[in-house]
Structure 1
Amino acid sequence: MSRRARVSPAEAGLPDGGARRRTPGLRREEVAVLAGVGASWYQWLEQGRDISVSAQVLDAVARVLRLGGTERRHLYVLAGLNPPAPEVAPDKRDMCEGLRRLIDTWMPYPAHIMDLYYNCVMYNDAAAVVLGMRPDITQNCLVDFFTDPLYRARSHSWERNARTVVAQFRAACAARPGDEGYQAVLDRVSRASAEFTALWEEWDVEEPGQVRKELEHPLVGLLCVESTAMKVPARPDLTVVLHTPLDEANTAAKLEWLASPEGRRGAMYPVAG
């Protein structure tokens, strides 16, 4: 009812006839006509009665009421249906500067942001120094996990984490069936890595969460970190991955040294590995 009151007859393409209305916005009967449903059925929908509701009808109602993405998903939840995949609201598309500040504030610990298809959108300096993120690799976190020799040489936990990485990618693909973007990444990494293909055929599925990583850095030795993947509700197309030092191998102090002027000078010189 509150959303119906927000839409004027003129905005909905209806003539108002110049008559004064007792209540603002559209009448129930007008919403029903514009959505292509019966007036009684729409009234029952507003009243929350136990009626059969389809996604197509809810989308029609959402269109007439001019619901945003979050409101449309909420309507699905109220009706007892699985909500559609989140979409980025037009006014939330320009959040990159704020997200850049977020991962830069995470220094001296590694952090990066990737899109739906695991393409790296941005990373901080610690991710470059510790994880080996750099411009001359594919910039796709899944492909680089299986094909970047530098990361593989540093990672003591590569074999253990590979299964998790593949299972999480399968879960992401399953959430958006038929998405050509996922298929393109899948084709690319399958051609590049037989190890990926073998793990993909095991059909494991896992939601993103926390992953333990053990890395051997050429300047400071063993680093033990825990990566946490987090979604940004306003930008459901992005995932922020933050790495936190574990209480092992003096990891926090080593990461702080790598980010210091002395550590940065040391990283300027070629070191094996």
Structure 2
Amino acid sequence: MTEDVLRTQRRRELRDFLMSRRARVSPAQAGLPDGGARRRTPGLRREEVAVLAGVGASWYQWLEQGRDISVSPQVLDAVARVLRLSNAERRHLYLLAGLNPPAPEVAPEVRDMCDGLRRLIDTWMPYPAHIMDPYYNCVMYNDAAGMVLGMRPDNTQNCIIDFFTDPLYRGQSRTWEKNARTVVAQFRASCAAAPDDEGYQEVLDQLRDVSPEFATLWEERDIEDAGQIRKELDHPLVGLLAVESTAMKVPARPDLTIVLHTPLPEANTAAKLEWLASPEGRRGSMYPVAG
């Protein structure tokens, strides 16, 4: 499919999207009197959207017609405000207009998703799972993460700080040195995506203070996207465990990262994890590792 065809399709989708969003906003919702007059079409008129957004009527008509006109983020934000677009719809509007979309935001109506995410990681049992905020603070973890990875209340509850400072994890992780480079590279990628965020700077300053090894790796300036990491642990009760951690995002909660650990075929890991989650295994396991 040629670029011209794709551009034509995008403009057609922009037209249909704006018309559909405009139709669902009543004059009353926009703070306008309806005047008691019967409208031929539901929702706002093009001219009303233009006035409320502070743009010219002709310009907005051209935008809705999908013409090749210049648009700015400020004007699109004004249109999005008038049309009462959600965060996802606002990003969609940017994409249809040919602009880079704004960073994802957490909509108020999905802030209670944590209950569902808790059910997700608990259902992942007997395999370890945890959820982090943007600064690698652990928001929640399941029982297997406590028994296998040693996540516990008396740690810092920050996954990258604990990675570098918890001696139990370092003593029992066969892959610590290899994974340390990856962990730092992924953290640098997160920091680079939000250069003005003081939360990242606070974690960075703390890591530099407590871990010379982190400081050395940080200066190498490696960058990696979050993905999968192989981990090998010498668990004191069951011996070698080989797992693969996968970092995943939920678009509705871009502030959270779900980390699921999947057993690899080696060392009968799946059966060992099942035993550790059993009543017998729970009695014998008391935070053997941390990480």
> TM-score range with shorter-chain normalisation?
over 0.9
Query: Secondary structure at the residue paired with 2:266?
Result: coil
Give the deviation of 1:38 after TM superposition. Answer: 1.3
Is the CA contact 2:106–2:255 (under 8 Å) kept in the aligned structure 1? yes
Among 103, 116, 119, the alignment partner of 1:98 is 116
Percent identity, please: 83
Task: Output the CA distance in 1 between the equivalents of 2:243 and 2:99.
Answer: 39
Q: Which amino acid aligns with 1:39?
A: A
Q: How many angstroms does 1:271 deviate by?
A: 6.9
Q: Secondary structure of the residue that 1:215 maps to in structure 2?
A: strand
Tell me if the contact between 2:241 and 2:267 (Cα under 8 Å) persists in the aligned partners: yes
Q: Kindly indicate whether the alpha-carbon contact (under 8 Å) linking 2:168 and 2:288 is maintained by their aligned counterparts in 1.
A: no
> Would you identify which runs of 4 or more consecutive aligned residues in structure 1 move more than 6 Å?
270-273
Match status 1:72 vs 2:115: no
Q: How far, CA to CA, are the matches of 1:199 and 1:35 in structure 2?
A: 49
1:182 aligns to what SS in structure 2?
Answer: helix
User: Alignment partner for residue 144 of structure 1, among 148, 162, 165?
Assistant: 162
1:272 to 1:127, Cα distance in 2 relative to 1, 3 A: closer
In the alignment, residue 49 of structure 2 is paired with which amino acid? V
User: Aligned equivalents of 1:141 and 1:17: distance in 2?
Assistant: 59
Residues 118 and 140 of structure 2 are in contact (CA less than 8 Å); yes or no, is this contact kept in structure 1? yes
Match in the other structure for 1:231:
249
Q: For residues 105-126 of structure 1, what are the alpha-carbon distances to aligned partners after superposition, in whole Å with 9 as ceiling and x for unaligned?
A: 1111111011111110111111
Deviations 1:120-151 (A, max 9, x none): 01111111111110000110111111111111
Deviation at 1:75, TM superposition (A): 0.4
- Which residue of 206, 212, 216 corresponds with 1:188? 206
- Which stretch shifts more, 16-25 or 237-246? 16-25
Stretch deviating more after TM superposition (137-146 or 13-22)? 13-22
Partner residue in 1 for 2:217: 199
1:101 and 1:159 map into 2 onto residues whose CA distance is: 33
TM-score by length of structure 1 reads 0.95
Specify the code of the residue in structure 2 equivalent to 1:126.
A
Counterpart Cα distance in 2 of 1:141 and 1:46 = 47
> How far has the Cα of 1:167 moved from its partner?
1.1
C-alpha spacing 1:271/1:7, structure 2 compared with 1 (3 Å): closer
- Mapped pair 1:54 → 2:60: no
> 1:46 deviation in Å?
1.0
Query: Which residue does 1:34 correspond to in 2?
Result: 52
**What residue ranges of structure 1 are gaps of 5+ in the alignment?**
none
In the alignment, is residue 163 of structure 1 matched against residue 197 of structure 2? Answer: no
| Stretch of structure 1 that moved more, 166-175 or 243-252 | 166-175
2:101 aligns to what? 83
Partner of 1:95: helix, strand, or coil? helix
List per-residue Cα deviations over 1:41-70 (Å, max 9, x = no partner).
Answer: 111111122111111111111001110000
1:172 equivalent to 2:190? Answer: yes
Partner of 1:244: 262
Matched with 1:63 is 81
Task: Report the Cα offset of residue 15 of structure 1.
Answer: 2.3
Deviation at 1:30, TM superposition (A): 1.2
Deviations 1:171-205 (A, max 9, x none): 11222231121112112212111111111111111
- Specify the alignment match of 2:8 in structure 1: none
Does 1 or 2 have the higher relative contact order (CA < 8 Å, sep 6+)? 2
Cα distance in structure 2, aligned partners of 1:158 and 1:123: 21
- Give SS of 2:267's match: coil
Deviation digits for residues 76-103 of structure 1, max 9, x if unmatched?
Answer: 1101111111111111111122111111
- Aligned partner of 2:233 among 194, 215, 227: 215
Structure 2 unaligned regions, length at least 5: 1-18
